[in-house]
Amino acid sequence: MQSSHKWTVTSCVVIVMLVAGVMVARGGDVAQGRAIYLRNCATCHGLTAEGNGPMARALKTPPTNLRLLSDLYGNPLPEDRVARAIDGREEVKAHGPRDMPVWGDRFSAETHGDEQQVKERIAQLVAYLQSLQTGARSASR
């Protein structure tokens, strides 16, 4: 019985450490995503992501209020769908012009074509956008 109890306690400790590690990583993703957002997105979407950045008035299509994405897509946000919208390289030309920059191309140029780094940056942005939603949870895959 003692050995069974030790096994259960050890298992619980390992699970808690794994979950804590994921939460710390997710927190790091949010912080990195915020930095990427402020550097690349805030000009149009605003410091608070409400679509009121300094360039917003000059645009034909007003920037989206990114705090309300969960109203459109649910909460948690669908990570893959949001990531594809940010990336922009797979959008269908027949749907018309894209008002938002194709960040996949820009991040690819900045990372000298390192697709893993491009995906990481976009995932960090998605984590940050998720953190802005009401009742924020982890983005779904």
* 126 in any annotated domain: yes
Range of the domain at 73: 2-132
* 75 in any annotated domain: yes
* 84 in any annotated domain: yes
Question: Over its length of 141 residues, how does the chain's per-residue pLDDT go in tens digits?
Answer: 555 555 554 444 434 333 333 333 467 999 999 999 999 999 999 999 999 999 999 999 999 999 999 999 999 999 999 999 999 998 756 556 778 899 999 999 999 999 999 999 999 999 999 999 975 555 555
Q: Which two tokens stand for residue 93?
A: 């030309």
Count of domains for the chain: 1
* 139 in any annotated domain: no
pTM (2 d.p.): 0.75
